[in-house]
Amino acid sequence: MEKTNGGLGLDITTNSTFDNDDIKETIVNYGKNFSAIEKYLRESTSSPNNLADGKKVEKGKIIWNENPVVGSYVGWVNIREGKHAPNWKPNVKYTVGQEVKALPDNGNIYQCVTAGKSMVNTPTFLVENGAEFYDAIGNKWFPDYNYKVNDVVFPTNGSKLYYYICVTEGLSDTSEPTWSGISAGTTFVDNSVTWRKEVNIKWKQVGTSSEFRPFGKVE
């Protein structure tokens, strides 16, 4: 008896001759195979987001809605072969190796190569193979400038290893803050502005993402 290497893990009989025990075992295993096929074809969940992260999903894969109700959908079908990953989210601490799907969807998967905290606004997801970029975008700090909540600045030396997000609006000082003396995750005052320092995530494009779309709306 030989087991295939496919995702279903079916048992395939390779015996060239059979006795009664072989026939019985073959029938039992074929029954198990049919059960495995049925389970595979009827895989269900409350959302395709519940799939294992990093799993490659073939185009045409169907996930059934385990609890359909009026106004919901019968299931979801994958329209693009690729890896499954959760959507990028704001204000989340990501660690090296974690993968996300671009938001809005652009067909790509991105891996965290420098740990940090994501921004309030979605980054500009580059689509070139292997492209690397920072999560937070903003302008260099300006003196005597009225900053609003969620504005982001970088030091005037151009470094983007950290970003500084405005948590209390106000007018910046005439002199630039001493950025290097501030710990990540802490706040500090710049005249009447309050900033919070965060580590800027660096992302890398690493492949194609799957894309599930709902079908069969329940009327």
Could you write out the three-class secondary structure of 197-212? EEECCEEEEEEEECCE
Least confident of 42-56, 111-125, 176-190: 42-56
pLDDT for 2 equals: 47
Query: Which of 14-18, 35-39, 195-199 shows the lowest mean pLDDT across its residues?
Result: 35-39
Greater model confidence, 33 or 175: 175
Q: What is the pTM of this model?
A: 0.77
What SS3 state is found at 20? Answer: helix
For residue 26, what pLDDT band results from cuts at 50, 70 and 90? low
Whether residue 46 is predicted with pLDDT greater than 90 in this model: the reply is: no
What kind and span of H or E run contains 135? none
- Per-residue model confidence (pLDDT) at position 140: 97
- Inter-residue contact 83 to 52 (CB < 8 Å): no
Residues 6+ apart with CB under 8 A from 134: 123, 160, 163, 200, 201, 202, 203
Model pLDDT for residues 82-98, shown as the tens digit of each residue: 999 999 999 999 999 99
pLDDT of residue 40: 47
pLDDT tens per residue, range 107-148: 999 999 999 999 999 999 999 999 999 999 999 999 999 999
Mean confidence (pLDDT) of the chain: 88
pLDDT tens digits for 54-72? Answer: 989 999 999 999 999 999 9
How far apart (Å, rounded) are the C-alpha atoms in residues 125 and 130? 12
Stretch 176-180: mean pLDDT, rounded?
94
Element (H, E) at 105: none
